[in-house]
Amino acid sequence: MTDAKQPSGSIKASILAALTHIRETATKPGKTLLPTAAFSSALNSVGERLVDLLLEKERTGNWWLSEEGDWLRCTVQRTEPRVTRHFYRDEPLLPTSKHLADPMTGPDHLVRVSVPALDLNSDVVLEQKLRFGTRQDAFADSGTYLKHLLYKSGLNAPTETDFKSESYCTKLFELIEKVGTTMGQAGAAGTVPQVCFWSIRSKRNKIIVRDKESKKITECDFVGFLPPIVNTASFKKKSPAVEVIRRAKVQLWIGLDSLLEVCEESEVETAWDEAINELSTALHNPTWR
């Protein structure tokens, strides 16, 4: 048995080195080199809490996708620390109101976004997917999000041939609605992207989220996606997938690499240690429901 290689460098430097290697190989001919499941498991064990802590402070980057395919500078900050939240169909809520989808389906993050160029300030549901199974998972484009949107819907990904965006999105909405009705829920069921799409396309045109404990309600007009890396250049090309994600109001795209780059090394180190400590505490002192 060989001794395990001892870690060297900071958490920020180590994660960025891996993500940079993925980007470099993904943008060249040949095979994209992806990390093993061990790297993915380690990162995802604390990934959501890590991002939550990093977004406690305002962060700024070119993360907002404009209608023209340009990347606009925006400022992002979480609204409150991560808690259990559910999606709802309507607001105001009644005592008989049922949440959408199953009890485990809720937003990874709620963030407040400011886009000066558009004079826009909005609450946004930010979905985090730090997956490394395929090149498209790690080096995300519109097709990555579309894959989650179409999950078990029975609808094939759109192609260039005779693509009509409105009719395609209407069909997807109906399929998600049908799944929700079948499962006895008050509307959409399925993945967070599906619930958000259904909410944006429903009569209210808003994503309604309520904190389980405080009962605070947040209405969101847009959706965000946080993968390992965003393939920003791919959005310049008009395609059916890009058109669908625009109609789904997925306009905030933050790669983990770009988020880490705007954080101080000490901030990442502190957030990582806090997330690890909370994980240990949760194991040693389980709470019950």
Domain annotation covers residue 4: no
Domain annotation covers residue 125: yes
Higher pLDDT, 281 or 182: 281
Strands 222-226 and 120-128: parallel
Q: Which domain holds residue 134?
A: 11-281
For residue 184, give the nearest of 91, 86, 101, 103 by alpha carbon: 101
pLDDT in tens, 231-269: 999 998 889 999 999 999 999 999 999 999 999 999 999
What six digits make up the tokens of 113?
A: 């976004």
Domain annotation covers residue 288: no
pTM of the model as a whole: 0.90
Q: Is the pLDDT of residue 2 over 50?
A: no
In this structure, are residues 229 and 23 in contact, taking their beta carbons and an 8 Å threshold? yes
Domain annotation covers residue 119: yes
* Rounded Cα distance, 289 and 257, in Å: 36
* Rounded Cα distance, 271 and 10, in Å: 12
pLDDT in tens, 84-110: 888 888 765 555 556 777 666 789 999
Domain annotation covers residue 248: yes
Total domains in the chain come to: 1
Domain annotation covers residue 3: no
pLDDT (mean) for 208-233: 93
Domain annotation covers residue 286: no
Domain annotation covers residue 2: no
pLDDT in tens, 29-82: 999 999 999 999 999 999 999 999 999 999 999 999 998 889 999 999 999 888
